[in-house]
Amino acid sequence: MKVWVDADRCRGHGVCVGLCPEVFELTDDGYAEARTATVPAEFESSVTVAASACPEHAIDVSGAQRSEPSTQRLRRTTEPSASEAES
């Protein structure tokens, strides 16, 4: 699995560092970065959780073994239907 933090999106919340400090760290400027691009196997699950929990959606992973997509990383791209708007 590979991981990287989008420096343009990261706002330094530190959620990823709290969830997986073995892979993520905060820079001197207070923004997250990956300590390594290649994630050790024992931390893959934690990195996947951190990516899903990132409030700015700034963490990208490749090679993740997911059984279903993370709903936290999906964004609505259309207006809600009339039935959705009523509920």
Spell out the domain ranges in the chain. 2-86
Q: What is the pLDDT along the chain (87 residues), one digit of tens a residue?
A: 999 999 999 999 999 999 999 999 999 999 999 999 999 999 999 999 999 999 999 999 997 554 333 333 333 334 455 555 555
pLDDT given for residue 33 in this prediction: 96
Looking at residue 86, its pLDDT comes to 56
| Cβ pair 78, 87 in contact under 8 A | no
How far from 4 is each of 50, 54, 78, 83, CA to CA, in Å?
A: 12, 12, 28, 39
Both tokens assigned to 59: 């963490």
The pTM of the full predicted model, rounded to 2 decimals, is 0.70
The Cβ-side half-sphere exposure at 38, using a 13 Å CA radius, reads 1
Pick the CATH number of 2-86 from 1.10.10.10, 3.90.280.10, 3.30.70.20, 3.30.360.10: 3.30.70.20
| pLDDT in the model for residue 63 | 79
Tell me the two tokens of residue 73: 């990383």
